[in-house]
């Protein structure tokens, strides 16, 4: 198996899109609200809709701690009572043999009917998006939740003595103790990473490309002894490297369109693996304005094979970030806006301009930034358990005027289809 490819993103034209959790749609469900959002994206000249993971979230609402790495969340259904024929259930079980029976045993009666409904509604949405030139960028957490259907169904693939997390970083002084079980990578390698192949295949059934969260964990992962109170007790452990991605490419027939979430404590080894696999990484404007001229997040330093963001779901909104920034940092932002011809009297829209003007082949802006919302609309605060994942866009926010403004900046950035 070859370790390189020519980069799936390289073959697409410059484009841009909007980051919006499916549960953040008006009403928090699929159906007509999702179709109207796709229509608004197309009107605004966008070619991507980035979503967060679509699985059944935990009790805090976190889609990154879902009860299944494969199942869709029935809570997103616009028509949860829609009729399902037994033949549809049988066909679904056959198509998804790697995980569906295990999910049915875990979730109980009606679980497969719900998955048929989810695939039906999501499939209709994807077809609607494709017809309007909008691709879906999905999101796949590296880890699965403790007590999930995945751990219960294949306990031999997971270890409970070391829990997942990250060491102290930008987001948390004590690091982040996620608490997920970690992988027995040797056992996964022994069967050709079959679980990972099935997982990636499922995600590519749901999206046109998939962001692999915590990509650096393939190189080295932070293992925290069970019972430790903070992530500072952890140590680095060697990951599987390219193995899971190469296995998926071999099984699925070539390109596996992934985006490497290469944020945080990134080493040369992580960059080498990303580049060996030909994957685009991420660049985040909120990280760009300190650290000098070589800061990789400065727009002039963005590689073409990357995805540029104002901020991610883990960042404050750009308005909130700006309001808390010191004056020297604000002045640095203004300086870069002037240098790159991206000036706007509203600094949030200036950041949007900088992002869409980036050399990166793809640019993504959270919906909250397009609406100019402050910290109260933040999606997630890493290391904080409660009070996240609740924000929703309102139907009346998706105006023609906003679409026209975004379309104009998209054209200025050379990203219109």
What is the average pLDDT across 269-277? 96
From CA 128, how far away is CA 203, in angstroms rounded? 18
Residue 215 has pLDDT above 80, yes or no: yes
What is the average pLDDT across 378-398? 93
In a domain, 270, yes or no: yes
From CA 227, how far away is CA 273, in angstroms rounded? 32
**Which residue range is the domain that position 200 belongs to?**
8-72+121-412
Catalytic residue list: 213, 261, 314
Query: How do the residues of the chain divide into helix, strand and coil, expressed in percent and rounded to 5?
Result: 45, 15, 40
Reported as a pLDDT band with limits 50, 70 and 90, residue 1 is very low
In a domain, 197, yes or no: yes
So what's the pLDDT on residue 209? 97
Which residues, including other chains, have CB under 8 Å from residue 131's CB and lie 6 or more apart? none
- Mean pLDDT rounded to a whole number for the chain: 95
Residue 2 has pLDDT above 60, yes or no: no
Q: What is the tens place of the pLDDT at every residue in 170-199?
A: 777 888 898 899 999 999 999 999 999 999
Residue 22 has pLDDT above 50, yes or no: yes
So what's the pLDDT on residue 107? 96
From CA 98, how far away is CA 357, in angstroms rounded? 43
In a domain, 103, yes or no: no
In a domain, 308, yes or no: yes
Which helix (H) or strand (E) segment holds residue 308: the answer is strand 306-309
CATH number of the domain at 294, please: 3.20.20.80
In a domain, 92, yes or no: no
In a domain, 236, yes or no: yes
In a domain, 160, yes or no: yes
So what's the pLDDT on residue 5? 55
Indicate the burial class of 124 (C-beta count within 10 angstroms; 0-12, 13-18, 19 or more): middle
How many domains is the chain built from? 1
In a domain, 417, yes or no: no
């Amino acid at each position: 198996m070859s370790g390189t490819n020519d980069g799936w993103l390289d073959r697409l034209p410059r484009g841009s899109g909007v980051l919006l959790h499916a549960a953040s749609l008006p009403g928090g469900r699929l159906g007509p609200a999702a179709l109207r959002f796709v229509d608004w994206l197309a009107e605004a000249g966008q070619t991507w809709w980035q979503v967060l993971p679509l699985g059944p979230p935990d009790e805090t609402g976190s889609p990154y701690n879902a009860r299944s790495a494969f199942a869709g969340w029935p809570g997103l259904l616009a028509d949860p009572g829609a009729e399902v024929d037994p033949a549809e259930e049988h066909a679904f079980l056959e198509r998804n043999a790697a995980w569906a029976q295990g999910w049915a045993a875990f979730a109980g009666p009606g679980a497969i009917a719900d998955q048929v409904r989810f695939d039906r509604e999501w499939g209709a949405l994807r077809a609607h998006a494709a017809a309007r030139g909008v691709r879906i960028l999905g999101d796949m957490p590296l880890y699965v939740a403790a007590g999930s259907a995945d751990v219960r169904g294949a306990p031999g693939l997971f270890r409970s003595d070391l829990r997942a997390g990250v060491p102290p970083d930008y987001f948390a002084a004590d690091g982040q103790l996620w608490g997920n079980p970690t992988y027995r990578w040797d056992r996964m390698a022994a069967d050709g990473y079959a679980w990972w192949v099935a997982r990636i295949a499922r995600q590519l059934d749901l999206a046109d490309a998939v962001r692999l969260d915590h990509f650096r964990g393939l190189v080295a992962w932070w293992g925290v002894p069970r019972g430790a109170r903070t992530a500072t007790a952890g140590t680095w452990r060697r990951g599987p490297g390219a193995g899971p991605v190469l296995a998926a490419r071999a099984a699925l027939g070539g390109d596996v369109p992934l985006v490497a979430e290469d944020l945080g404590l990134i080493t040369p080894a992580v960059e080498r693996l990303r580049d060996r696999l030909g994957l685009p990484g991420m660049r985040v404007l909120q990280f760009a304005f300190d650290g000098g001229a070589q800061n990789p997040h400065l727009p002039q330093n963005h590689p073409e094979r990357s995805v540029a963001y104002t901020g991610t779901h883990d960042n404050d909104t750009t308005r909130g970030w700006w309001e808390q920034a010191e004056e020297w940092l604000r002045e640095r932002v203004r300086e870069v806006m002037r240098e790159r011809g991206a000036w706007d009297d509203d600094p949030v829209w200036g950041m949007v301009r900088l992002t869409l003007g980036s050399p990166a082949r793809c640019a993504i802006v959270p919906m909250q930034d397009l609406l100019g919302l402050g910290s109260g609309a933040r999606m997630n605060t890493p290391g904080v358990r409660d009070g996240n994942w609740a924000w929703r866009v309102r139907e009346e926010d998706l105006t023609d005027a906003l679409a026209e403004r975004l379309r104009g900046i998209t054209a200025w950035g050379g990203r219109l289809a």
